[in-house]
Amino acid sequence: MKKLLVYLKDYKKESVLGPLFKLLEALFELFVPLVVAAIIDKGIANNDHGYIVRMCIILAVLGVIGLVCSITAQFFAAKAAVGFSTKLRHALFAHIQSFSHSEIDAIGASTLITRMTSDINQVQSGVNLVLRLFLRSPFVVFGAMIMAFTIDVPSALIFAVAIPVLALIVFGIMLLTMPLYKKSQRALDSVLTKTRENITGARVLRAFCMEERESEDFAERNETLVSIQKFVGKISALMNPLTYAVINAAVIVLIWQGAMRVDSGALTQGQVVALYNYMSQILVELIKLANMIISLTKALACANRISDVMDIRCSLKNGSVSTGIEDAPVVEFENAALMYNGASETAVEGVSFTAVRGEMVGIIGGTGSGKTSLVNLIPRFYDVCAGCVKVNGVDVREYDIDALRAKIGVVPQKAVLFKGTVRSNLEWGGEDRDRDFAIEAVKASQSMEFIFKLDRGFDTYVSQNGSNLSGGQRQRLTIARALMKRPEILILDDSASALDFATDAKLRRAIRNLPYDPTVFVVSQRASSVMKADKIIVLDDGVPAGIGTHEELLDNCEVYREIYYSQFPKEEQANG
């Protein structure tokens, strides 16, 4: 939690004024029992109506001043808490954006979403409560005890016994519940992960009739969460009855002893009422403190979870090089290998080849052969575990990451579009691009025809993930977005799988004719998509089975021949 308090530094004034006004409110509140005692002992005892009216006016003034102080304190506390959570959320989001794919894979997207939303909201509530009650409640409790000592020392000793017992109950329950709240948040992560999986994979679940099994799995995880929350809730629920029991026992002893001392003339009736009021104030404040501690326990557990994410450092060390070597190959692999975190074996190994400007490189292989893993090494989404990858003659690990990725346009396997318009999605590739750039990119990606058929053209609304567009439309828009950058290196990672063969052929021909001659990597399981490439890399279980042109690989690569003839039977070739 200490590490996160740095985000409160811009709210020092609010963090001081909030508790200060709460202390002022508490101070005026402590005078109320004395005024009530005076009304009873002097006004009512002497039947002095004027005195009673004056004291009632003083009570009203104390109430109004207390209300103003309370509202002011609430304002400053809320401003500090909301501002703190806003800055923390921005910092956490920026920190998550700095993670490599390895860290995101290890932590999990649903866990990060929980940290960004639920956990930060809990911390915000904790900060708000601390600023309002952390000083006020102890001040009222000890202030009431001190005021009790000024009235009658023997009666005040009851306060001195009750308060430590109450503190023991409150802090004991807090120590018991804190680790349980952490466990509860982990169980919540599990439920959110399963929920996210089911929502994103709803079509797959229905296609394989797995709704019942997934419902059972979700119910099991949810039951685990509920059982943990019930258990910790039962412990937390002990707080109120135990504190009420102690306070009421103290009140009984106080009234009994007060009655005896009134009989003996040591106390007045008004002083006994004042002592009772102070005990009631302590009861109210301790209940507030107990509830605050329950919320604070949750907030601390969530703050520690946020701190754990903030403590994670990106495994990719940023370089300083921003430009490459002139006339060097655009991309060069030298015995490159990749192993994912926690994996027992490499995903890709022993890859060596070069690609020059304007060259088209096809990458083909069976499912799980490492095609995507290979191209992910170029923009440095992952680091090699052996060998090296060079862009313009410089090891990608020596580049400034932003400078490296500015050279590269990536179209991922899954077409990802953002909520907005067609235009706003294209502008991700370059906001400062003029209309000619956009038209060039749209034409090359074969998107022009369908965009102009849309109701509002470039201003047509696009829902999250482009769910109001077809699969082929989404893929073509993501290709257009990448082309808006005019990248030196264009990576098409199985990005034409939803396109028909004719559109796919037009797309490849248009990319070949781009005026700025990018080096293009085409990842595909279709032989037709790569057979016209200048160079084809055939992967088999992460290892290059062959590198060459289509004709060369048909002659000397068994893996390529199997793929090709499975898609183009010899009878069809003979007939064609």
Element (H, E) at 81: helix 49-97
> Which residues are CB-neighbours of 344 under 8 A, at least 6 positions away?
none
Eight-state DSSP code of residue 396: G
CB-based burial of residue 542 (10 Å sphere; 0-12 exposed, 13-18 middle, 19+ buried)? Answer: buried
Element (H, E) at 338: strand 331-338
CATH architecture of the domain formed by 410-486 = 3-Layer(aba) Sandwich (3.40)
**Positive or negative torsion for Cα 214, 219, 224, 226:** positive
Amino acid in position 182? K
Nearest CA-CA partner of 136 in 295, 13, 30? 30
> Which residues are CB-neighbours of 224 under 8 A, at least 6 positions away?
187, 190
What does the pLDDT profile of the chain (576 residues) look like in tens digits?
677 888 888 898 999 999 999 989 888 888 888 888 888 888 888 888 888 899 899 989 998 998 999 999 999 999 999 999 999 999 999 999 888 888 888 887 878 888 888 889 989 998 998 888 888 888 888 888 888 888 888 887 887 888 788 878 877 887 788 788 778 878 887 888 888 788 878 888 888 888 888 899 999 999 999 999 899 888 888 877 888 888 888 888 888 888 888 888 788 888 888 888 887 887 778 778 777 877 887 788 888 889 988 988 888 888 888 888 988 999 999 999 999 887 888 999 999 999 999 999 999 998 888 999 999 999 999 999 999 999 999 999 999 998 999 999 999 888 888 899 888 888 887 766 666 777 888 889 888 888 888 888 888 898 888 888 888 889 889 999 899 888 999 999 988 777 888 888 888 889 988 888 899 999 988 888 898 899 999 999 889 999 999 999 999 999 999 999 888 876 455 444
Q: Tell me the C-alpha distance between 535 and 403, whole Å.
A: 27
Tokens matching residue 383: 């680091």
Nearest CA-CA partner of 238 in 146, 327, 136, 170? 170
pLDDT for residue 348: 93
Nearest CA-CA partner of 377 in 337, 324, 425? 337
pLDDT for residue 571: 45
Superfamily grouping for domain 2-311: ABC transporter type 1, transmembrane domain (1.20.1560.10)
pLDDT for residue 574: 46
Tokens 């490499």, residue located: 346
Tokens 């991700």, residue located: 428
| Per-residue pLDDT tens over the stretch 518-558 | 999 999 888 888 988 999 999 998 899 999 999 999 999 99
pLDDT for residue 181: 79
> What is the spatial order of strands in the sheet that 386-391 belongs to?
348-355, 331-338, 386-391, 394-395
Nearest CA-CA partner of 521 in 385, 393, 380, 372? 372
Residue intervals of the chain classified under CATH 1.20.1560.10 are 2-311
Residue 94: CB atoms within 10 A of its CB come to 9
| Per-residue pLDDT tens over the stretch 330-388 | 999 999 999 988 788 899 999 999 999 999 999 999 888 899 999 999 999 999 999 99
Tokens matching residue 149: 């000592």
Eight-state DSSP code of residue 408: E
